[in-house]
Amino acid sequence: MSNNIHLTHNNIDEIINHLSLQQKAQIVVGVNDKYLTTNYVVQGAAGYTFAIDSLGIPSISLADGPVGVRITPEPTNAVYTSYATCFPSTTALAATWNKELSKMEGEAIGNEAKAYGVDVMLTPGINIMRNPLCGRNFEYYSEDPYLSGFMAANMITGIQNNGVGTSLKHFVANNQQTGKLYNDARIPLRALRELYLKGFEICIKKSNPWTVMGSYNKIGGTYTQTNPELMKTILRDEWGYQGLVITDWYKTRNTVEQINAGSYLLMPGEKQQIEDIINGVNEGKISMETLNKAVKNVLELIIKTPTFNGWKYTKSPDLKANAELAKNIAIESMVLLKNDSNILPIRKACKVALFGATAYKSIAGGTGSSNVNKAYIINVSEGLESAGYSLDADLKRIYGKYIDFKTDLQNKYPNSKKWEQLSYYRTIVPEMGLKKGENWIAEASSNSDIAIIVLGRDSGEESDRRLEGGFNLTSDEKYMINQVTDDFHKKGKKVIVVMNVCGVVETASWKDKPDAILLAWLPGQECGNAIAEIINGKAYPSGHLPMTFPINYSDIPSSKNYPFLDQKSGKNFDYTNYEEGIWVGYRYFNTADVKVSYSFGYGLGYTSFSFSEPKIKKVKNDYIASIKVTNIGVNKGKECVQLYIKSPNKSMIMPESELKAFGKTKELSPGESAIIELSFNDYDLASFEENISSWKTSKGRYEIWFGNSSTNILAKKSLEISTDKFWKVNDVLKPVEKVNELIINLQ
């Protein structure tokens, strides 16, 4: 066969006819960089595809991750070198409730990816926060599929607007790290459809990600990557997905079953998988038609990428502008949980007694594949000083010594490079015990104007979080909060707690002590600057919780079916029964009327807003709900409008309400108003009826609630649906054993 043919945008079928079986197998299996041919190599990317230079098929690169481009900032053989911007955690982005901001972040990440020659970004991760101990929750958006889905869809669109691909992950139900390589997620079908699949469905239909990444775990007793019910019946037949399904990294499965199920790019790739495919075809276990379909899917991805379309390194991205964006997203993500007598903002520069090891060694992001090789991290202490606050010198000295000592003690890679130390090997130090330091507290409370306590919680892909010292505070942390607040309050001075944490921690037992609490999440590289701007009023908080903060861990229904740390086998490792069904987060707490510490959607600002003039109109197939939001306070602010629907469906127990749309105002000055319009349709109102394998929107009166939290509804309308509507789906992904589902006794 003449080999002078080169891949173009229009000759994939012809190219496939020129490929040998060996070449076809090589194209659907990733290569690590030592096998790469002459193509340009993005050092430190997570994976690459196989190049066939003679046919003009380049190797493309796939790099992490959710909060920025993870590549090596000091490449050996590339034409450029630089860092990437470390944006706030995915959870923080979700807490902005700002779809446009998510798209802007996507644009910036896509811009950096394109500048550095990355073809596909392995993001966003949208698994549902079923339980706060999941170690990867910081990489995920929410306990709610609509908040997750629409925020992630905008991220995908933003990145792909740069001509760079994305990878929607981890499809599906990677909701625990313990045992994730083996765990069979046994999910009742209503919960699977309404919670765990819904966010993926929204993303596929709203933003069409170039790739979808199969998770490690099983669903319906079969690994997701070898499960045609998931990868074909639902993803392609029901949702119409045309893109490429790639596997998650390293853990291989049965190669023949993966290809036959529709996982068409095996990452990062092993030579054995190439042999498996060749043998599979020769033994008739993989049809040539299937292999050709897989190859076509990969080539269809390749011809979209910057590398195929003549990418040239032009100039570094505008890292300064992107850092400013990262800071502004961090600011907009922060949730003001408490602000007694409006002590925040503290506009005048004053003397701050800064407590907490994390204040001086702050946490920009989580660890694992979502890491970003950033150039710097602004600690809270540095941000406060840059903003003009002076820090108690003794405390600064003591914490500095403590942190240096602990860092040296814990540092397993003392000879690693500076950039590795900053990002990969940045040891988080445990809280310093103050029990022997009452005099420090006493002196600080005499010499300073206010106290700021920073609580830290990191998290990583490597494992789930621990309950004690993870969800619950340590005794040193509790002592610090109690002692400092007692001492400062005795002297008529205020105390602020800043939470530089990965996600949900226990708050109910101590939240009455400080005067203000600011939830800062993992704010990215601009951490300290963002926090300082909120504290001094140069900026204002407008974040709202993307998940519930319960009073006790045991209040959470899924706590009865979650592995303990380091569990190595058995129930909740080999399989997990999602007995809570749909009762996750606010769906449970608000319906079962169980008290929480902070509700889903909750967040304060430096001003307040009224909602008025609720309206609903039908425009073609959509309902347009609108609400007038007015700033009735004395400071600027942005308001988050959350639209909850209460369904009249009587054929099954319904949540008290469910989020179906949300929006955020632009900045409103005191007295200023804005109209927010939110759209939804009949399908959004549907619930999944397992016994008929169908979505159903029942006829009846739907209550439409406009709130700024799931428990603070500020305006209501109703909507009459005249006839039942159905959307039939396939009866697939049944759990291998019946799951004994939680029954909620309605009040």
Measured at the alpha carbon of residue 643, what is the angle toward residues 642 and 645, in degrees to the nearest 5?
140
Cis bond leading into 188, ω under 30°? no
Q: Considering the complex, what minimum distance in angstroms separates the CB of residue 407 from ligand GLC?
A: 26
Please state the closest distance from residue 33 (CB atom) to ligand GLC, in A.
Answer: 14
Judged by CB under 6 A, the residue of 24, 99, 130, 169 near ligand GLC is 169
CB atoms within 10 A of CB 638: 23
DSSP assignments along 375-433, one per residue? S----HHHHHHHTTPEEPHHHHHHHHHHHHHHHHHH-S-TTS-HHHHHHTS-PPPPPPP
Q: Give the span between the Cα atoms of 583 and 742, in whole angstroms.
A: 8
Q: How far apart are CA 115 and CA 113, in angstroms?
A: 5
How many positions of this chain bind ligand GLC (CB under 6 A)? 8
Least separation, in Å, of the C-beta of 160 and ligand GLC?
A: 17
Cα 529 to the chain's mean position, in Å?
Answer: 22
Name the strands in the sheet holding 390-391, side by side, starting at the edge strand that comes first in the sequence: 335-339, 516-519, 495-501, 450-457, 351-355, 390-391
Would residue 248 show up in a list of annotated catalytic residues for this protein? Answer: yes
Residue 352, phi then psi, degrees to nearest 5: -110, 130
Q: Which is nearer to ligand GLC, 42 or 336 (CB)?
A: 42
Contacts with ligand GLC, 226-255, as mask; x by CB under 6 A: ----------------------xx------
Tell me the closest approach of the beta carbon of residue 148 to ligand GLC, in angstroms.
15
Q: Which is nearer to ligand GLC, 64 or 579 (CB)?
A: 64
* Min CB(63)–ligand GLC separation in Å: 8
| Cα 357 from Cα 433, distance rounded (Å) | 10
Contact status, residue 586 vs residue 712, Cβ threshold 8 Å: no
Q: What is the DSSP string of 501-548?
A: ESS----TTTTTSSSEEEE-----TTHHHHHHHHHTTSS------SS-
Strands laid side by side in the 640-646 sheet: 658-664, 640-646, 700-709, 712-721
310 near 119, Cβ under 8 Å? Answer: no
The amino acid present at 672, given as its one-letter code, is: E
Residues with Cβ within 8 Å of 144's Cβ and at least 6 positions away in sequence, in order, are: 128, 546, 547, 585, 586, 600, 658, 659
Q: Under DSSP, is residue 337 helix (H, G, I), strand (E, B) or coil? A: strand
Min separation Cβ 65 and ligand GLC, Å = 6
Q: Taking the complex as a whole, how short is the minimal distance between the CB of residue 362 and ligand GLC, in angstroms?
A: 24
Asked if 648 and 700 touch (Cβ cutoff 8 Å), the reply is yes
Q: Which residues pair with 171 in a beta bridge?
A: 214
Binding characters for ligand GLC, 8-47, by CB under 6 A (x = yes): --------------------------------------x-
SS3 of residue 133 by DSSP: coil
Instruction: Give the other-Cβ count within 10 Å of 650's Cβ.
Output: 9
Report how far Cα 528 is from the mean position of its chain's Cα atoms.
Answer: 21
Given the structure tokens 């970003």, which residue do they identify?
372
Tokens 């190439």 belong to 274
Sign for the pseudo-dihedral over CA of 513, 518, 519, 521: negative
Q: In the window 351-390, what residues touch ligand GLC (CB under 6 A)?
A: 369
CB of 239 to ligand GLC, least distance (A): 21
Q: From the CB of 136, what's the least distance to ligand GLC, in Å?
A: 8
> CB-wise, 64 or 143, nearer to ligand GLC?
64
Neighbours of 158 (CB within 10 A): 23
* Contacts of ligand GLC in 122-161 (CB under 6 A): 122
Catalytic residue chosen out of the listed positions 119, 184, 248, 515: 248
CB of 526 to ligand GLC, least distance (A): 24
* Selection from 86, 208, 55, 66 nearest residue 127 by Cα: 66
- Whose Cβ is closer to ligand GLC: residue 264's or residue 588's? 264
CA distance 137 to 126: 9
Restricted to residues 675-704, the positions that interact with ligand GLC (CB under 6 A) are none
Are 264 and 242 in contact by the 8 Å Cβ rule? The answer is no
The tokens describing 284, both together, are 């008739």
What is the pairing mode between strands 609-619 and 622-631?
A: antiparallel
Which helix (H) or strand (E) is 121 found in, with range?
strand 120-121
Cβ–Cβ < 8 Å for 451, 496: yes
Contact call for residue 424 and ligand GLC (CB under 6 A) = no
Q: Which is nearer to ligand GLC, 248 or 684 (CB)?
A: 248
Nearer to ligand GLC, 181 or 303 (CB): 181
Closer of 249 and 573 to ligand GLC (Cβ): 249
* Shortest reach from residue 202's CB to ligand GLC, in Å: 20
The smaller minimum CB distance to ligand GLC, of residues 64 and 431, is found at: 64
- Binding string, residues 476-505; x marks residues near ligand GLC by CB under 6 A: ------------------------------
* Least distance to ligand GLC, CB of residue 661, Å: 28
Taking CB under 6 A as the rule, which mask of x and - marks residues 544-583 in contact with ligand GLC? Answer: ----------------------------------------
Q: How far is the CB of 228 from ligand GLC (least distance, A)?
A: 22
* Omega within 30 of 0 (cis) for the link into 170: yes
Nearest alpha carbon to residue 587 among 649, 642, 653: 653
Q: Which of residues 143 and 248 has its CB atom nearest to ligand GLC in the complex?
A: 248
DSSP designation for 318: -
Distance, C-alpha 40 to centroid of its chain: 30
Scanning residues 40 to 79, which ones bind ligand GLC (CB under 6 A)? 46, 64-65
Q: Which residues are tagged catalytic?
A: 248
Site residues for ligand GLC per CB under 6 A: 46, 64-65, 122, 169, 248-249, 369
